[in-house]
Amino acid sequence: MWSLTFPVLVLLSGFGLLRDAQAAPMPQELICVPDVVDRTYDLIAITDMDKDAGGSPSDWTWRAVKRKGQLTISGDGEKIAVNWDPSADQNVTTHLNVKGRAMELSDLALFNGHLISPDDKTGMIYQIEGQKAIPWVFLNSGPGNTTNGMKAEWMALKDGQLYVGGHGTEYRAKDGSIVSTDSMWIKIVSADGAVQHKDWTKNYEKIRDAAGFPAPGYLTHEAVQWSKVHHRWFFIPRRHSKKIYDEEADERRGSNKIISADENFDDFYTIDIGALKDRKRGFSAFAFIPGTCDELALGIKSVEFKGTTESYITAFDLMGNIYLEDQRLQGNLKFEGLYIVKK
């Protein structure tokens, strides 16, 4: 075990994380001590099955599938393995729905002692207790004065509060005109469920400009985390394009970008995660691996292509080096939430 004081030129050299890449900027006087022993963590993943989340019409039940797995990581961080147990899959159910749609769960986080997940169709944040989805907080779309539920796509914990965001891009008509900017707003939720509505339009615009995709190009965000170690935001878009949104073309616009921003969204850097091989796959969730000083992460990639769905797990570092190549999760389920159970 050793301590690391930032900034340093080569971080976590025992992990071999940087591999001749320039280190990302780090805050001053921050000490992080990585774990250097082989260890295993439990994993939980949850689905957004869109229209397939509907159960029997007779009992008005909607479901998401919760799957358990294990992550094994070596002490030097060089060897990472993930195994899932589909035989133990559980249906997490609710009767709450909007126009016959529900339980399209898009992320997972542990907040205030509860495992929570947002439904991007109803706008409800659920507490996941076994196979029960217990309604906790309702989020409405945009500035908070709308009657529609928020299409929540990501959650991040920062300073004891829960940040919840959507795709972070304007919704446009086929002629390119802007139909809605609701997804440019985020919500900040306190531990007791109080909700603030924040306009992140300028932040989202800065992110896509920094990555090289100015409007009418776009990024769609489903995988976002705040790192208290680096004191920075990390965005891994599901899609990127320099062209205007097109529903069919969007299925082949998967991204491999990491865009990092400081707390004030004034300083940015962008890194590619490996090579962009299959653009049907795009990141729908990621989580930092405990004990790695927020340098190693697991990510879920989702595929929605011509009516079919697939999911993959991968591991990488913040310099874009890959430690686990895309590994498919069994079945044709679209997983969009990932939680690593800390010991």
Which residues carry a binding-site annotation for Ca(2+)? 106-107, 153, 222, 284, 336
Q: What is the three-state SS of the chain? A: CCCEEECCCCCCCCCCCCCCCCCCCCCCCEEECCCCCCEEEEEEEEECCHHHHECCCCCCCEEEEEEEEEEEECCCCCCEEEEECHHHCEEEEECCCECCECCCECCCEEECCEEEEEECCCCEEEEEECCEEEEEEECECCCCCCCCECCCCEEEEECCEEEEECCCCCEECCCCCEEECHHHEEEEECCCCCEEEEECHHHHHHHHHHHCCCCCCEEECCCEEEECCCCEEEECCCEEECCCCCHHHHCCCECCEEEEEECCCCCEEEEECCCCCCCCEEEEEEEECCCCCCCEEEEEEEEEECCEEEEEEEEEECCCCEEEEEEECCCCCCEEEEEEECC
Query: Residues comprising the binding site?
Result: 106-107, 153, 222, 284, 336
